[in-house]
Amino acid sequence: MKVTKAQVEANRAHIVETACTLFRERGYDGVGVAELMATAGLTHGGFYRHFGSKAELMAEAAACGVAKTTSMLDGVDMAEFIGHYLSREHRDDRSGGCTLAALSGDAARQSDAIKATFATGLESLLAELLGADNTRSEEARRQTRAQTIDTIAHALGALVLSRACPDDSPLADEILQTCRTAILDSREASTTTG
């Protein structure tokens, strides 16, 4: 039976979604092509009809995951975003949480194409957080960008450190709480003085 073009596209999208989830949960090296395709409900041989390599899929899955992280910003302010991002709920959702937190360490050991996908994703996250503000000076925009990069790095690092602790560790929760408070206090102080 011939598969329609629409079904081929739907299968590819399903493979990317499945990979996005599995890679976040177990890392790039923790998931093989055969297991990935079985989890997606497709045959192993069909993989190469959709992708030239696992690396190609890794890049697409990373882009998909970063887009999901960016979508967490829809309709929320920075305080709400940080509150959710540095919550126990998000920490425990390894397969559904932030791709940057789950895979940046893995991406650092991958090809430049994967690194470029992460850099592009980070730029899109920054753009979403910063918005379009042409009313302020170039220096003010530069300072706001620097503060936003600091916020992302601080939050991402806190999530990674918390996940590195045993699930029931009081330290895991302390890291989240301490960093959430520090980020929000820092942002409030810069808003008050800026």
Read out DSSP for 83-131?
A: HHHTSHHHHH-TTTS-HHHHHHHHHTTS-HHHHHHHHHHHHHHHHHHH-
pLDDT of residue 73: 82
Is the sign of the CA dihedral 115, 178, 125, 31 positive or negative? positive
Percent of the chain predicted with pLDDT > 90: 69
pTM for the model stands at 0.86
* pLDDT of 144 strictly over 80: yes
Average the pLDDT over 133-142 and give the result.
83
Query: How far is residue 38's CA from residue 42's CA, in Å, rounded to a whole number?
Result: 6
Q: What is the pLDDT of residues 89-137, one digit of tens each?
A: 999 999 999 999 999 999 999 999 899 999 999 999 898 888 766 678 8
Is the sign of the CA dihedral 158, 161, 165, 171 positive or negative? negative
> What is the CATH architecture of 55-193?
Orthogonal Bundle (1.10)
Residue 29: what residue type?
A: D
The candidate with the shortest Cα–Cα distance to 89, out of 169, 164, 163, is 163
- Residue 54: pLDDT band (50, 70, 90) is very high
Question: What residue spans define the domains of the chain?
Answer: 55-193
pLDDT of residue 158: 97
Contacting residues for 140 by C-beta, under 8 A, at least 6 apart: 194
Query: How far is residue 37's CA from residue 15's CA, in Å, rounded to a whole number?
Result: 7
- As a whole number, the mean pLDDT across the chain is 91
Q: What is the pLDDT of residues 145-194, one digit of tens each?
A: 999 999 999 999 999 999 999 988 999 999 999 999 999 999 888 777 65
